[in-house]
A = this chain, B = another copy of it.
Amino acid sequence: MRADKLKQLEDIQKLFKIIEKKKSTPTFLKSEAYEFTLNNGLVVKRERIIKGRNDGSAVIIVPYIGNEVLLVIEPRVFTKSGVGVGFPAGYIENGEEPKTAALRELREETGLVPERIEEVDAFYQDEGCSSAYNHIFLAHNCKKLYGQELDKDEHIEYMSFTVEEALELERMGYINGCNSKIAIQKIIRR
């Protein structure tokens, strides 16, 4: 790992450290409950997470720029460090195709546009309590064509790393969300 890169990452993490926290009122996360009767006669009650207007299915994008991959750094207030490092990601909007969502999120979070994008995997984020189904894309040969266009409550910094450095960041515990951990396997396997 280049020492200057790690220093730069840690400086960004410091900016996002939490200094104060106060309780507020939920408007985004809700839940639903159902009783299901199964083929063998069993009845099970299960509850489901709702995020805003849908199930919170998301896209995760691995952006290649030359021989490096781009990682985003952002507040992840419920984790131990309070700051997350991972690949660009975001929720799929109602009626949106996953690929369209991936291109939109990549552009909004980083201003990048890829030459080619391909879906390489998909998975349920919380099989027991959610129908969120997340899609992983590799975005090849990205070019920086736009500025960031973030939602008012989003604060995202980004940096690029070699594949080896990205893997090292995972091993060091900087990358520790399930989305990015599954996505990083797709880099290794190529």
A residues near B, CB below 8 A? Answer: 14-40, 42, 44-49, 51, 55-56, 75-80, 84, 86, 121-131, 133-134, 153, 155, 176-179, 181-182, 185
Contact = CB atoms under 8 A, between A and B. Distances in A.
22 contacts: A16-B40, A19-B37, A21-B34, A23-B34, A27-B33, A27-B47, A28-B47, A29-B31, A29-B47, A30-B31, A38-B75, A42-B155, A44-B77, A79-B131, A84-B124, A84-B127, A86-B127, A124-B178, A126-B126, A134-B178, A178-B178, A182-B182
Copy count, this protein chain: 2
A177 B124 contact: yes
A29 B17 contact: no
A-B residue pairs, 9 tightest by C-beta: A29-B31, A127-B177, A20-B37, A24-B33, A78-B131, A26-B31, A26-B33, A17-B39, A15-B40
